[in-house]
Each structure stands twice: as C-alpha cells, then as structure tokens.
Structure 1
Amino acid sequence: MRQNFHFRKSSFSSEAVECVEIATNIPDIVAIRDSKAPEGPVIQLSPAPWDTFRDALVAGAFNR
C-alpha cells in the first residue's frame, strides 16, 4: 500500500517537468520521486539524511 504523500516540487522549477518532488506531510518520513514517473518508485528517508543532502545541495557540494 502506498502512503498518502502530498508531493510538491521546488518553486524554482516553475513549469519544468523533469523535477524531483518531495513530500513531508507524514511525520518522520521524507518521500522523494521523479515528477516524470509519479506512479514509479518512491524513496523514503528519515528527516536527518534528507536535511544533510539538502544542506549539501544548498552549499553547492554537487555543482559541476
């Protein structure tokens, strides 16, 4: 059974269709999916690893 996640994408994505969407509406779970495949797999993390990943993105750790 799939959780009842309420996914959203970044406001920076505007009308882009190739985005990562996240859901944080269920306590202690951050869900991540590909916007091109909404019925596809969903990655579920606890908030701590998500926060670490998000902070690294913001800091530019993955910039080319």
Structure 2
Amino acid sequence: MKAPPIDEADSLQEDWDRLFPAGLSDEAAATLLRFVDALGSLLESRYGAQARAHQIRSADPHPPF
C-alpha cells in the first residue's frame, strides 16, 4: 500500500536532513538541483519511452505475436 503524500514528504525531508548539512550553500543546493533534474530527464528519456511502449502494447487487444 502506498504511503499518503504527507508521509512521503516527511520521509523525503528526513532523508534530505540525513544526507545534507543544514548549512548547505545556495550554490551547492543549486548544483544539486541541476544534477537531480538532469538525472530525472535521463531516466524519463530512457524508461519513459519503455513505459509508453509497454502501455501501447498492453492496450492492443491483438498483439502481433
């Protein structure tokens, strides 16, 4: 069962607090944000295409095999 969004947000905040010091500079935070955005884009381009292809195949009532 998936956790409610507020629990997920609290969990992410706790993970952030464990991983990064409270005094993280604005420059370091901006760099981290760019990294996470780039990683998200990479994952979306790689696995998003696979997921969309799978959804299309799953919706086809007469698969080609």
TM over 0.5: no
Q: Which structure carries more relative contact order (alpha carbon 8 Å, separation 6+)?
A: 1
| Structure whose CA Rg is larger | 2
More helix by share: 2
* TM-score (norm. length: structure 2): 0.36
